[in-house]
Structure 1
Amino acid sequence: MSKSKEVLLECTRLMNPGALRPFVEAFTSRLLSLGHTRLTVSGYEASARHFGHWLQSAKIAVAEINEDTVRRFARHRCRCAGVRRADRLSAKYVNRARRFVSFLAECGFVTPLTQDEPRAHDDQVLAFQVWLRRHRGISERTIGRHGRMVMRLLPALGPDPRHYDARLIRQAILGEAQRTSRANLKTMTMALRGYLRYLATQGLCRAGLDHAIPTVPQWRLSALPRYISTAEVERVIASCDITTPMGIRDRAVLLLLARLGLRAGDISGMRLDDIDWSEGTLRVRGKGRREVRLPLPQDAGDAIIDYLRDARPPAACEQIFLRTVAPFRPLVSASVSSIVSLALARADIDHAPSRGAHLLRHSATSMLRAGATLDVIGTVLRHRSVDTTAHYAKVDVDMLLRVTQPWPGSASC
């Protein structure tokens, strides 16, 4: 038996959770039902027992558990029963105890844990995020980022929007320009522009202040799309080990990214009822709550069937693609990009211009070289602007070479 297993067994044997004993048992049963391994469950059980044991030593009633209680548990100089001795518990260990407290909250025996009290002005920013969610149709990730960006600017802008003017707004942005990158500053101006428009609609500041925000220089569509060749895309797809559940899942994901140019968010949000098997179509929910039906390629459809039949964990989730280890939650966008990055490494492609899911979306430009029109490409990639789709015309370098003219610098007058 490994030393880690011996430590867990010793902690489980000596830690007495007291009144929380039945809840610890119910907690471990829940974790097992989610598919966690016995070793993982033993780690959670040891943390939960330790937390219950410490509550008794500190004379804290179960009903009094709150966020401060968990912090005190994290900071206590542990000399509790068992083999654990530490001046401060690790974050991973405390997070296991925190998850146990969340389980107690689900059962209705303690108040749900709350994070730090929001700072001044947070209420207005939260209302702004609700407005974005209701009227703008952007993703939760973007809504959260906009809120963080506005919070970063509020100390320079001040607490009262009625006092905002063009000079103050420009100073706030120019001040941030000294401390952050151009890309981050552009995102910040986008968030502030939306915030000022929201305030204006609520009558909290003067209308039109969003026009006072300085423009961050950017030459749109000036560079070539970054992509890998069609042969390299096929190598990436073929790198998946289809004898394992993870390989079966990853192959289906990569085929959807490569064949339809989907975004990472399209994959993570894809649901079982989005596929119409009789029509051979896939419903995709894009930016701005737009929904379109795309033809489902045969190889991608077959890969999804293989995943649903042989590799998808038995979890009650509407989303198609799930983690392969417990808890079986839907993939997030970052996980989809990681699938691409790992596949590039397996295929020995180290010159890729990027390593995320968008790389395969850009590589969908192979449709143009195969003879597809820009209108077709724009429909598949769901571009709102024809200018964005026209950006992909520049990847046909062979065709461009036929129409280029000699550089006139050496021509005689």
Structure 2
Amino acid sequence: MIIAEEYLNRSRLFRRLKSGPHGQLFELYAARLVEVGLAGQGTWRCLNVVGDLLAWMASRRIRLTDLDERVVERYLQHRGGKQTIQPGDRAALKRWLLILRTTRTIASPALPADTPQAQIFAEFSDYLRSERGLAARTIVRHLPSIRRFLCEACPAGATDLGKISQEEVIHYIERHAQDWSPRSGKAMCWSLRAFLRYLHHTGLHPLALAGCVPSIRQWKFASLPTYLSAAQVQKVLVGCDRATATGRRDYAILMMLAKLGLRADEVATLTLDDVDWRAGEMLVRAKGRQRARMPIAPDVGAALVAYLRDGRPQSACRRLFLRSLAPHIGFASGCAITMIAKTALERAGISGYAHQGAHIFRHSLATELLRCGATLSEIGQLLRHRSHDTTRIYAKVDIEALRTLSLPWPGDAQ
């Protein structure tokens, strides 16, 4: 694969743009493309789309100093009518705008005006952070439910907050309680209680409405954990093409999910500094702001070494796992790890499970350990459960052990 620097050294397109009226800007832009590690084809695409943008602006007598996001959107609509817009075109133009703003060729973007809802969200988020001590990821999970509630109960914004009635709260939950699963319904009620408690705490509502939020019944331990057999897990692992850099990365990620029982977010946030090769262990940023040291199994370590030596792109980013496409940075969240696991399951032909993502490997590991004789206490320690009740659900999957506890059926001896 030709990297950006090699391509620029022999590119006629780059030489033509560099010799034009904006040559110095294109040199800075090319340096940015080299910095993010684009391949030759990606570099050509970026230079081509920016050059085409400038030609389009010249044909409409738009000055470079007038370029902003609105002009870019007009250009993309024009380009979309002539040819297909590639996923990297918007990113290429964003990089160009960044160069122009860094050199003060164009003005900084205008800050969007805060809507009444945005102000409410900002103040509510500050309350959850300062008063309740919640993490940023937990706060973000509250906002979709609150946004939907405000759209229906407070269309006028903050002026209607003090007019919310108990009946409105109850009717809202009755309308939306069955939109998703019982677990999602409980999360919606949890978010609403937190928000209504905030309104009363800050004096925005005279009544403590949190107490009128009804509970959604969800029977504890009513369902079995979704898990794969050991043969299915092995089939998923074998399905990774370890002849490619992406395949080696995905194989190492899946090994961490399947052999160590890590959560998707825990894998996404691992850094190079978290791995202690001498001690043979790694530092995991676990759920609830916990930090735990976990031993690295030999097969997991071998998969990591193969990725670090022959799969991980060169990057200043300290995250352990990086995006395969430029810019080579870490994943934004555990959602990317979930998508890698989901793709691997589909590639292996495994379907029909209620939960088909990264967490199914965690359940599979616990189930297999239980069948091999591990105690629930040992499984709970490995999975870093804070409560024994969380681990007890795996007792239900050991059907053979449960048979020894069952009483004879009445009348069976007759």
TM-score by length of 2: 0.83
Structure 1 pair 150–11 and aligned structure 2 pair: CA distance change class (3 A): farther
Residue of structure 2 equivalent to 1:372: 374
Letter in 2 for 1:250: D
Report deviation, 1:330: 1.2
Report the Cα distance in structure 2 between the residues aligned to 1:226 and 1:181, rounded to whole angstroms.
16
* 1:402 aligns with one of 399, 404, 412: 404
Residue by residue, what CA displacement relative to the aligned partner does 1:245-286 show, whole Å, maximum 9, x if unpaired?
A: 222222211111112211111111001111222322221112
Q: In structure 1, the residue corresponding to 2:243 is in which secondary structure?
A: coil
Partner of 1:325: 325
- Secondary structure of the equivalent of 1:121? helix
User: How far did residue 202 of structure 1 move?
Assistant: 3.1
* Structure-2 change in CA distance of 1:303 and 1:38 (3 Å): same
Is 1:344 the counterpart of 2:342? The answer is no
Quick one: distance in 1 between partners of 2:84 and 2:16?
A: 18
Using the alignment, how far apart are the partners of 2:82 and 2:250 within structure 1?
43
What letter matches 2:225 in structure 1?
Answer: P
- CA distance 1:397–1:343, change in 2 (3 Å): same
Tell me which moved more, 350-359 or 392-401. Answer: 350-359
Equivalent residue, structure 2, for 1:127: 123
The structure 2 residue matched to 1:100, chosen from 92, 96, 99, is: 96
Note the 1:267-286 alignment, pairs <5 A. 267-286=267-286
Q: Structure 1 residues 407, 132: CA separation in 2 closer, same or farther (over 3 Å shift)?
A: farther
Go from structure 1 to structure 2 and tell me whether the alpha carbon gap of 1:180 and 1:260 turns closer, same or farther (over 3 Å shift). closer
Q: Which amino acid aligns with 2:148?
A: R
Q: Superposed, which structure 2 residues align to 1:60-139 within 5 Å?
A: 60-76=62-78, 86=81, 90=85, 92=87, 93-94=89-90, 96-113=92-109, 117-133=113-129, 135-139=132-136
* Counterparts of 2:230 and 2:386, CA distance in 1: 25
Aligned mates of 1:240, 1:128 — CA distance in 2: 44
Residues 309 and 383 of structure 1: CA distance in aligned 2, closer, same or farther (over 3 Å): same
- Paired residue type of 2:300: A
For residues 35-54 of structure 1, the C-alpha deviation after alignment (integer angstroms, 9 at most, x for no partner) is 22222222222221222233
SS of residue in 1 equivalent to 2:293 = strand
Say which of 136, 143, 158 aligns to 2:139. Answer: 143
Shift in Å, 1:11: 9.4
Task: Figure out how many residues of one structure are paired with residues of the other and give that number.
Answer: 396
Q: 1:379: Cα distance to partner?
A: 1.9
Aligned-partner SS, 2:81? coil
Consecutive unaligned residues in structure 2, runs of 5 or more: 1-10
CA displacement 1:317-350 (0-9 Å, x = unmatched): 1110012222212134232123223333444434
Give the direction of change, closer, same or farther, for the CA distance of 1:354–1:170 in structure 2 (3 Å limit): closer
User: How far did residue 390 of structure 1 move?
Assistant: 0.6
Residue equivalent to 1:81: none
Structure 1, unaligned stretches of length 5 or more?
Answer: 1-8, 79-84
Quote the sequence identity (%). 33
Shifted more, 194-203 versus 358-367: the winner is: 194-203
Would the aligned equivalents of 2:241 and 2:247 in 1 still touch at CA under 8 Å? yes
Separation in 1, partners of 2:255, 2:190? 33
Corresponding residue for residue 48 of structure 1: 50
How far apart, in 1, do the equivalents of 2:239 and 2:112 lie?
45
TM-score of the pair, normalised by structure 1: 0.83
Work out whether residues 170 and 214 of structure 1, in 8 Å CA contact, stay in contact via their aligned partners in 2. Answer: yes
CA spacing shift, 1:243–1:205, aligned 2, 3 Å? same
In 2, are the aligned partners of 1:281 and 1:294 still within 8 Å (CA)?
yes
Aligned partners of 2:104, 2:370: CA distance in 1, in Å? 58
Instruction: Give the structure 2 partner of residue 3 of structure 1.
Output: none
SS in 1 for 2:284: strand
Report the more deviating stretch, 216-225 or 91-100.
Answer: 91-100
Which has the larger displacement, 258-267 or 272-281?
272-281
- C-alpha change, 1:97 and 1:172, in structure 2 (3 Å) is same
SS in structure 1 at match of 2:204 = coil
For the residues of structure 2 that align with 1:112 and 1:176, how far apart are their CA atoms? 42
Distance 1:111 1:130 in 2: 31
Contact 1:32 1:38 in 2 (8 A): no
**Cross-structure match for 1:153:** 149
Within 2, Cα distance between the matches of 1:386 and 1:222?
17
- 1:180: how far off? 6.0
Q: Which amino acid aligns with 2:97?
A: V
Deviation for aligned residue 1:16: 11
8 Å CA contact retained: 1:36, 1:326:
yes
1:176–1:111 Cα change, 3 Å? farther
Cα drift, residue 13 of structure 1: 10
User: Any residues of structure 2 matched to 1:262-301 within 5 Å, and which?
Assistant: 262-301=262-301
Greater shift, 164-173 or 378-387, is seen at 164-173
Q: How far has the Cα of 1:184 moved from its partner?
A: 4.5
How well do the aligned residues superpose, as a CA RMSD in angstroms?
A: 3.3
Query: Is the contact made by 2:17 and 2:23 (CA closer than 8 Å) also made in structure 1?
Result: no
Matched, 1:26 2:28: yes
How far did residue 56 of structure 1 move? 3.4
Amino acid at match of 1:309: R
1:155, 1:49 → 2: CA distance? 43
One-letter amino acid of the counterpart of residue 126, structure 1: A
Please give the secondary structure, in 2, of the residue aligned with 1:403.
Answer: coil
2:403 is paired with a residue whose SS is helix
Contact 2:245 2:312 in 1 (8 A): yes
Quote the Cα distance in structure 1 between the aligned partners of 2:224 and 2:320.
Answer: 34
Structure 1 distance, partners of 2:405, 2:204, is 56
1:122 deviates by: 1.1
Deviations 1:143-181 (A, max 9, x none): 334222211111332234333342232233223347666
One-letter identity of the residue aligned with 2:81: A
* Matched-pair contact (CA < 8 Å) for 1:24–1:49: no
1:260 aligns with 2:256: no
Alignment CA distance shift 1:242-1:411 (3 Å): closer
Aligned in 2, Cα 1:260/1:175: closer, same or farther, shift over 3 Å? Answer: same
SS of match in other structure, 1:43:
helix
